[in-house]
Amino acid sequence: MRKTSYKLKTPLTIEKVKKLRVGDRVRISGTIYTARDASHKRLMAALKKKSLPIPIRDQILYYTGPTPVRPGKVIGSAGPTTSFRMDPYTIPLLKKGLRGMIGKGERSQKVREAMKRHQAIYFAAPGGCGALLSRYIKEAKVIAYPDLGPEAIYRLEIEDFPVIVAIDSEGKSLFRRE
Amino acid sequence: MRRIGPERIRDVVAQLCIEANYQLPKEVIQALRKARRRENSSLGREVLDQLIENARIAEEGVYPLCQDTGMVEVFLEIGERIRIEDLEEAVQEGVRKGYRKGYLRKSIVSPLNRKNTKNNTPAIIHTKIVKGERLKIIVFIKGFGSENVSATGMLLPSQGREGVVEFVLEKVREAGADPCPPIVVGVGIGGTLEKSSLLAKEALLRPLGRHHAKKEIRSLEKELLKKINGLGIGPSGLGGKITSLAVHIETFPTHIAGLPVAVNINCHALRYARKII
């Protein structure tokens, strides 16, 4: 496995994605959006009405539901949740130009194939490191579905957020499964 | 009769909810350090370093160990000479208080309409009446990345020990990277459907890495740990030889026609806290 380290800035264009290969260490800076189970369900309904509350093209979705923020802090713990639960909602978002996802664990074959078709990338963040990862989040604001509490969509400003390329735009996956 | 007031129980439960969510038990940190020394994949070692650093940050008391602050299970061992009033409500109130004061995520919803209860209750309470006049409270925080990949199987007697090994390995292999490895594996063998599941959960609460007292079970624990670590899933599922920190098994007699087996998987953050009143 090659061991390349990159610094990446959002938005994530196809040209940036094409350079990345499975196993690359990447530090991401810029704007990303959170979404998990309940907010993905709402995004699907919003897609049908053509009224998405966030930009999707060349953006990154981070699968997380943070803990409540303490006074004077930016956010609570905010590590990745299991990504495959979002698989049923992912392909329509890829069709709309979603370029990157951050989560933990393997994705379905269908999602991997769609990622290849639409030139998208999937990053793994270290699972179970919610406290550690909070330190790379510099700003956080709920921008859609506040009634969903921890499942609301947050816009995050991140700096050098540490991830590994887990599935690249050629559909190659880092996870070892028979 | 010794009396323990509901306020005392509420406050202890609240405190234990906070402690479990911010402080990894010493034995878990030791196991992660040991895993760090033994792991030969460099990516695996990087992940283990991050997990150890994460635990250090959480211990400062600002950021919980994980954003999934779990569903709460409370195990109570109640001395038969204690008088307690409003036990159920005292425990639930303790969980509400702990999750509010500790800035912990409220993750509990009604199962079908998915409406959040907004205070992380109800907690699941298991009680056992024991001798004496002490009350032991164990708060166990169960995240669902790992609970989702747990399973119970009603094996047949003909499948025997070999069938149990196969079942456990199959579940761990299927779980892959999802439960945040290195995992702790609790296995319950025997009883009925729910008894085996409860045994598996109780097995997770045994101090990490302490083997079962019975030689037959101890050797099965060692065999399973070796085979699980041979699967190559590794820390965070990125490959490596440390997939599991420990396998704990509990058993109970069962029916001549059956062999229930439950596998309860836990992430590296085995979050429990206990207190005796």
A177, pLDDT greater than 60: no
Mean pLDDT, range A10-20, rounded to an integer: 95
**B119 and B16 in a common domain:** yes
Task: Look up residue B11 and give its two tokens.
Answer: 């406050």
Q: pLDDT per residue over B232-247, tens digit each?
A: 999 999 899 999 999 9
What is the number of residues in chain B?
277
List A153's β-bridge partners, or say none.
Answer: A144
Window 111-130 of A: residues touching B by CB (8 A cutoff) are 124, 126-130
User: Any chain B CB within 8 A of the CB of A65?
Assistant: yes
Task: Look up residue A154 and give its two tokens.
Answer: 């947050």
Which amino acid, residue B264?
A: N
* B63 min Cα distance to partner chain A (Å): 5
Look at residue B178 and tell me if it is in a domain. yes
**Distance, CA of B215 to CA of B249 (rounded, Å):** 12
Is residue A118 part of the annotated active site? The answer reads: no
Please tell me the predicted confidence (pLDDT) of residue B39: 97
The last residue of a domain, from among B97, B119, B142: B142
**B99 and B8 in a common domain:** yes
Please tell me the predicted confidence (pLDDT) of residue B1: 86
Asked whether A129 and A152 are in contact (CB, 8 A), the reply is no
The last residue of a domain, from among B95, B124, B142: B142
User: Which region holds residue A97: left if phi is over 0, alpha if psi is between -120 and 50, else beta?
Assistant: left
**Distance, CA of B214 to CA of B228 (rounded, Å):** 21
A1, pLDDT greater than 90: no
Cβ contact (<8 Å) for B178 and A82? yes
**B258 and B186 in a common domain:** yes
Task: Look up residue A153 and give its two tokens.
Answer: 């969509």
**B259 and B154 in a common domain:** yes
Mean pLDDT, range B100-110, rounded to an integer: 97
Tokens 């008088």: give the residue: B83
Q: pLDDT per residue over B106-125, tens digit each?
A: 999 999 999 999 999 999 99
Task: Work out the angle at residue B127's Cα, subtended by the Cα atoms of residues B123 and B129, and round it to the nearest 5 degrees.
Answer: 165
Percent pLDDT > 70 in chain A is 97
Mean pLDDT, range B140-162, rounded to an integer: 97
pTM of the model: 0.94
Look at residue B248 and tell me if it is in a domain. yes
**Distance, CA of B163 to CA of A172 (rounded, Å):** 34
Q: Of B62, B118, B178, which is closest to A105 when you measure between CB atoms?
A: B178
CA distances from A104 to A84, A125, A128, A166 (A): 8, 6, 9, 9
Chain B residues inside the 8 Å CB shell of A106: 176-178, 237
User: Any chain B CB within 8 A of the CB of A53?
Assistant: no
Mean confidence (pLDDT) of chain A: 94
Please name which of B193, B189, B178 lies closest in space to residue B247, comparing C-alpha atoms.
B189
Total domain count for chain B?
2
**B164 and B122 in a common domain:** no
Q: Of A66, A132, A177, which is closest to B53 when you measure between CB atoms?
A: A132
**B202 and B132 in a common domain:** no
Domain that holds residue B110: 2-20+65-142
Please tell me the predicted confidence (pLDDT) of residue B62: 97
Please tell me the predicted confidence (pLDDT) of residue B164: 98
Annotated catalytic residue, options A40, A104, A107, A118: A40
**Distance, CA of A108 to CA of A106 (rounded, Å):** 7
Chain B residues inside the 8 Å CB shell of A174: 238-239
Q: pLDDT per residue over A55-111, tens digit each?
A: 999 999 999 999 999 999 999 999 999 999 999 999 999 999 999 999 999 999 999
Q: Determine if the peptide bond prior to B25 is cis (ω within 30°).
A: no
**B209 and B163 in a common domain:** yes
SS3 of B175-212? HCCCCCCCEEEEEEEEECHHHHHHHHHHHHCCCCCCCC
Please tell me the predicted confidence (pLDDT) of residue B135: 97
Look at residue B32 and tell me if it is in a domain. no
What backbone torsions phi and psi does residue A64 show, to the nearest 5 degrees? -155, 155
Q: Of A65, A84, A126, which is closest to B67 when you measure between CB atoms?
A: A65
User: Any chain A CB within 8 A of the CB of B50?
Assistant: yes
Chain B residue with minimum CA distance to A72: B62
**B222 and B157 in a common domain:** yes
Mean pLDDT, range A154-168, rounded to an integer: 97
* B4 min Cα distance to partner chain A (Å): 32
Task: Look up residue B260 and give its two tokens.
Answer: 């229930």
Asked whether A106 and B174 are in contact (CB, 8 A), the reply is no
Cβ contact (<8 Å) for B66 and A131? yes
Mean pLDDT, range B96-104, rounded to an integer: 98
Mean pLDDT, range B73-78, rounded to an integer: 98
A176, pLDDT greater than 80: no
**B131 and B99 in a common domain:** yes
B100, pLDDT greater than 70: yes
Chain A residues inside the 8 Å CB shell of B148: 82
Please name which of B91, B89, B124, B114 lies closest in space to residue B197, comparing C-alpha atoms.
B124
User: Any chain B CB within 8 A of the CB of A79?
Assistant: yes
Which amino acid, residue A101?
A: M
CA distances from B164 to A38, B169, B204, B251 (A): 36, 9, 18, 12
Q: pLDDT per residue over A95-132, tens digit each?
A: 999 999 999 999 999 999 999 999 999 999 999 999 99
What residue ranges define each of the domains in chain A, with the CATH number in brackets? 5-167 (3.20.130.10)
Question: Which run of H or of E encompasses B125?
Answer: strand B124-130
Look at residue B168 and tell me if it is in a domain. yes
**B155 and B262 in a common domain:** yes
Which pairing describes strands B124-130 and B259-266: parallel, antiparallel, or unpaired? unpaired
Mean pLDDT, range A13-22, rounded to an integer: 94
CATH number at residue B189: 3.30.1330
Please tell me the predicted confidence (pLDDT) of residue A3: 62
Look at residue B46 and tell me if it is in a domain. no
Please tell me the predicted confidence (pLDDT) of residue A5: 84
Cβ contact (<8 Å) for A67 and B239? no
Mean pLDDT, range B37-58, rounded to an integer: 95
**Distance, CA of B92 to CA of A77 (rounded, Å):** 24
Asked whether B180 and B242 are in contact (CB, 8 A), the reply is no
Mean pLDDT, range B82-87, rounded to an integer: 94
Residue B193 makes CB contacts below 8 A (sequence gap 6+) with B152, B154, B260
**Model confidence band, residue A178 (pLDDT cutoffs 50, 70, 90):** very low
CA distances from B163 to A78, B127, B167, B260 (A): 39, 32, 6, 11
CB count in 10 Å sphere of residue B111? 7
Chain A residues inside the 8 Å CB shell of B232: 176
Cβ contact (<8 Å) for A77 and B106? no
Q: Which site among B63, B114, B147, B266 would you substitute to test the A interface, given the most A Cβ atoms closer than 10 Å to its Cβ?
A: B63
